[in-house]
């Protein structure tokens, strides 16, 4: 009955809008349709007798979108959980949702009964990323694309990228040095973008000319990720969709260039034979150019801002925790000293083996993932009515597993809001640490993210010092959770007297 009442309220709100743009006769017909829909549909199943989870749907259509994305996510999620418990309903980005925060329920949705839920995003994200993106699919198509991405991002494929990633990291840090103030997040976005370009396209000289255009278009496109899907001139979503079309044209040029070179057998000798685009374009896979473009954009979305956010939080937490910074620096200096004078070693150059010998830095990486919880939640959609914790999740509703709440649960991690990398000296309990998701749709880029983060942390701790500029605290979305204003910092070489502290503006 609660579901019926809620649905009628939402639909009556729609009718109010319709009354403005259509005549009375059409509106009357619409009311007859609603009457027929609600009172002729069967509602006798056991699930229909279950109540909806407690909570609030907020304003019609808009729901509680602004409450979520305009404040510290901890405030929103904590207040909801305190008021309603570990399962509650809400409405964000135009979608009725059920949010869940118990480890058992999250495992139920993502793994144990994943067949009852399909991967999904709100309409704005789905339209921006493209209908062929494998994130939104199940079955054979998803499996085929997932295997292609896994093949390109597995350790055996990326281990030969260490020196190239290292070169990108050194260039990024050099460009930051000596400037009065830099936006750490923006610089880390550039670094992560260049790394994911390398992973997707390799080092084809003819294709790197398009990288700046891709970066420019993607910068506009990402502004609409958390917007309402109103494709009206002047809106963020409209600008994003326009950039999305331009991005598709640029990718078509790259694909055409690569195809011509493949047909002529003239690929450059320094190209990576296992880059992601090469896997997508394999004739045996039978992917269309549109399918390839959608999935390339999806990989950029998944790999760039998430990694940039983790790096930004890492710099913040290390700056605020001198003992952690000292431990990481000591470990990285030891690796650096161990390479001095070795025959065949490039001075200062890291190897794949080096990146596997950084346990202290890796624990800092894991604690950053936990405390920052870059991915606060993920999206699923119920493919049928589902019972969860004694409540009804109606077919078609979004289901949001709350990783942030699990990571900040004191039963899982004592003193959860304290940065303490030593907690990862012991493996966390099952289903309590989920920075890359869980189940068949878990993140495939975790090894690449780990590699590029460890490489940059090696060089920034052994060659540089940084300080935070200003004292403003807080969290903002961009589109993932990150420190306020992107963490303004000042970076200098280790020869400079600057300290890892907060510098007044």
Task: Specify whether the CB–CB gap between 494 and 464 falls below 8 A.
Answer: yes
Rounded Cα distance between 396 and 417, Å, is 35
b/e per residue, 370-382, with b = 16+ CB within 10 A?
bbbbbbbbbbbbb
CB 456 within 8 A of CB 491: no
Give how far Cα 419 sits from Cα of 215, 403, 408, 424, 481, Å.
Answer: 33, 17, 11, 11, 17
**Residue 1 contacts by C-beta under 8 Å, 6 or more apart in sequence?**
none
Order of all β-strands in the sheet with 398-401: 87-92, 95-100, 398-401, 380-382, 117-119
pLDDT reading at 12 higher than 80: no
What is the full DSSP assignment across 370-413?
HHH-SS-B--EEESS-EEETTEEE-TT-EEEEBHHHHHT-TTTS
Of 496, 454, 504, the residue nearest 166 (C-alpha): 454
φ, ψ (nearest 5 deg) of residue 93: 50, 40
pLDDT digits (tens, 9 = 90+) for 173-207: 999 998 999 999 999 999 999 999 999 998 766 67
| Each residue's pLDDT tens digit, 472-491 | 788 887 667 889 999 999 99
For range 368-382, the mean pLDDT = 92
Cβ–Cβ under 8 Å, residues 480 and 306: yes
Confidence band, pLDDT 50/70/90 cuts, at residue 411? very high
pLDDT at 391: 95
pLDDT band at 87 (very low <50, low <70, confident <90, very high): very high
Percent of the chain with pLDDT over 70: 84
Q: Which residues are annotated as a binding site for heme?
A: 443
Tell me whether strands 464-469 and 488-493 are parallel, antiparallel or unpaired.
antiparallel
pLDDT-derived band of residue 70, with 50, 70 and 90 as boundaries?
A: confident
Please enumerate, by residue number, every residue annotated as part of a binding site. Answer: 443
SS3 content of the chain, % helix, strand, coil (to 5): 60, 10, 30
**How many CB atoms sit inside 10 A of residue 296's CB?**
24
pLDDT at 426: 95
pLDDT given at position 497: 53
Q: What is the DSSP string of 84-136?
A: H-SEEEEEETTEEEEEE--HHHHHIIIIITGGGEEE---HHHHHHH-TT-GGG
Each residue's pLDDT tens digit, 131-169: 898 888 888 999 999 999 998 899 998 999 999 999 999
**Most confidently predicted of 57-71, 87-101, 338-352:** 87-101
pTM for the whole structure: 0.84
| pLDDT-based confidence at residue 347 (cuts at 50, 70, 90) | low
CA distance 345 to 496: 28
> Which residue is associated with the tokens 């699930």?
47
The pLDDT value given to residue 243: 92
Distances (CA, A) of 429 to 34, 219, 326, 371, 373: 48, 38, 28, 16, 17
Q: pLDDT value at position 408?
A: 95
Question: Tokens at residue 143, please?
Answer: 């499996």
3-state SS class at 11: helix
What's the whole-number mean pLDDT along residues 270-293? 80
What would the DSSP string read from start to end of 318-376? Answer: HHH-HHHHHHHHHHHHHHHHHHTT-TTPPTT---HHHHTS-HHHHHHHHHHHHHH-SS-
């Amino acid at each position: 009955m609660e579901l019926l009442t809620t649905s009628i309220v939402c639909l009556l709100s729609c009718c109010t809008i319709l009354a403005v743009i259509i005549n009375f006769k059409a509106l009357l017909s619409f009311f007859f349709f609603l009457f027929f829909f609600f009172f002729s549909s069967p509602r006798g199943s056991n699930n229909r007798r279950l109540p909806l989870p407690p909570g609030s749907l907020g304003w019609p259509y808009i729901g509680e979108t602004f409450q979520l994305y305009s404040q510290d996510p901890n405030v929103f999620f904590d207040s909801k959980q305190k008021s309603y418990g570990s399962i509650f309903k809400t409405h964000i980005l135009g979608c009725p949702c059920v949010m869940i925060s118990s480890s058992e329920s999250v495992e139920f949705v993502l793994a144990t009964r994943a067949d009852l839920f399909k991967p999904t995003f709100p309409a704005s994200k789905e339209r921006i990323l493209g209908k062929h993106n494998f994130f939104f699919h199940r079955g054979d198509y998803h499996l085929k694309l997932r295997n292609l991405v896994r093949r390109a991002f597995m350790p055996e494929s990326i281990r030969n990228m260490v020196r190239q990633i290292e070169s990108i990291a050194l260039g990024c840090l050099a460009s930051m040095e000596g400037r009065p103030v830099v936006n750490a997040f923006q610089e880390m976005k550039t670094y992560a973008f260049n790394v994911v370009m390398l992973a997707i396209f390799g080092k084809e000289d003819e294709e790197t000319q398009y990288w700046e255009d891709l970066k420019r278009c993607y910068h506009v496109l990402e502004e609409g990720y958390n917007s309402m899907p109103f494709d009206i001139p002047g809106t963020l979503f409209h600008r994003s969709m326009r950039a999305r079309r331009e991005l598709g044209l640029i990718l078509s040029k790259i694909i055409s260039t690569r195809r011509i070179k493949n047909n002529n057998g003239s690929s450059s000798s320094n190209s990576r034979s296992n880059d992601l685009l090469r896997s997508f374009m394999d004739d045996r896979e039978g992917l269309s150019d549109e399918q390839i473009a959608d999935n390339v954009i999806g990989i950029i979305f998944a790999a760039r801002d998430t990694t940039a956010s983790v790096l930004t939080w890492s710099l913040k937490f290390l700056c605020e925790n001198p003992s952690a910074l000292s431990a990481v620096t000591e470990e990285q200096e030891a690796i650096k000293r161990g390479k001095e004078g070795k025959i065949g070693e490039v001075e200062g150059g890291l190897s794949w083996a080096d990146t596997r010998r950084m346990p202290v830095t890796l624990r800092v990486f894991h604690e950053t993932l936990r405390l920052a919880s870059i991915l606060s939640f993920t999206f699923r959609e119920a493919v049928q009515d589902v019972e969860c914790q004694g409540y009804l999740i109606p077919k078609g509703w979004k289901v949001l597993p709350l990783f942030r709440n699990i990571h900040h649960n004191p039963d899982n991690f004592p003193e959860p809001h304290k940065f303490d990398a030593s907690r990862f000296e012991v493996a966390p309990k099952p289903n309590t640490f989920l920075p890359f998701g869980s189940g068949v749709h878990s993140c495939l880029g975790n090894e690449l993210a780990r590699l590029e983060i460890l490489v940059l942390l090696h060089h920034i701790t052994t060659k540089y010092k940084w300080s935070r500029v200003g004292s403003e605290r807080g969290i903002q979305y961009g589109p993932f959770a990150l420190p306020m204003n992107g963490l303004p910092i000042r970076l200098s070489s280790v020869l400079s007297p600057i300290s890892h502290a907060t510098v007044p503006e």
